[in-house]
Amino acid sequence: MQLSPEQLEFFAEDVSVKIIPNFSLSRASQGSAHCIGGDYGPFQPNFPMEVPLWLALYLHRHKKCRIEAPDWMSIDSLQGLYEQERLIAAGFQPIPYHYIEVSRLLLMFAKDSFGNSFHRTRELVEMIRKVRFNKIDSGLQILQGPMTVKLNNLSAMELNTIRPFFAGALDQFWKLAQMEEPQELSLQPSATYTQGSAEPPVRQLRRGVAA
């Protein structure tokens, strides 16, 4: 079963980000929020601190904090990343696992975190996404036969997007490879030579199914 993009976004909301709150909580809870997933706080006005993204977005929506864009989302590092990604054709650059989801959420709901560089940031993220997807595409095109493939530095959304196709193709390759084996063990190997030359691919398949 596939994970849905909404679920991935939900998972991405556990990534921690830096916020600058403009409120404090009452003394009764020592100024902190004691959540099931951990304690967050103490919140003090203008005192930067780390909280999960879901909490940051919630507070931001209620005008209770300013979210600081993560370091990797600065123009400089995105620019550098983009160039590296284009320069080095083999493999992928390390990037936060949920970069697509996090950047989408921040660019959509916390525009003020980016100030003047908002449009440039959005553009760069989009460009990086495209370069990477192009690489994935060309990687998938050379796929042949059953194999195990290393996918280091791919992100959650990228993996999930190629999952149905990639896993499906490998499943089929595997199935076909399993079918070819009985042919090698065939009792009449000569038959393959004499008749096989006429229409080899069809023959191979038919034998496979029968076996």
Partner 1 sequence: MASQDAPGSSQVDFANLYGESDVSIIKQALISEQVCPEILQYQEDLVQRLESQISNQEATIQELNKHAEQDLLKMIYTVEVQRVKYSLRCYLRARLKKLEQHVMHCLDDPEVKERLSEKEVKYAEDYFLLLGQHISTNVLSAMPQDFKGLLRQSSVSDANDTLARPNLDTHVFCKVLEDQGNVEVDDNGDTVDFSKDDLYIVRYRPIRDLVRDNWVQLI
Please pick, from the candidates 26, 116, 144, 197, the single residue that binds partner 1 as defined by CB under 8 A.
Answer: 26
C-alpha 193/C-alpha 191 separation (Å) is 5
- Assign residue 117 a region: left if phi > 0, alpha if psi is -120 to 50, beta otherwise? alpha
What are the residues facing 50 on neighbouring strands?
Answer: 18
How far apart (Å, rounded) are the C-alpha atoms in residues 210 and 66? 67
176 touches partner 1 (CB under 8 A): no
What CA–CA distance (Å, rounded) separates 132 from 137? 9
Q: Which residues pair with 34 in a beta bridge?
A: 39
Dihedrals phi, psi of 56, to nearest 5 degrees: -60, -45
Residues 46-85 that bind partner 1 (CB under 8 A): 54-55, 58, 62, 64
Specify the stretch interacting with partner 1 by CB under 8 A; choose among 10-18, 73-81, 125-133, 188-196. Answer: 10-18
Contact flag: residue 144 with partner 1 (CB under 8 A): no
Question: Which of 5, 18, 22, 25 is in the footprint of partner 1 by CB under 8 A?
Answer: 25
Which residue ranges make up the site for partner 1 (CB under 8 A)?
1-3, 7, 10-11, 13-14, 23, 25-26, 28-29, 33, 35-38, 54-55, 58, 62, 64, 146, 148-154, 156, 159, 163, 166-167, 170-171, 174-175
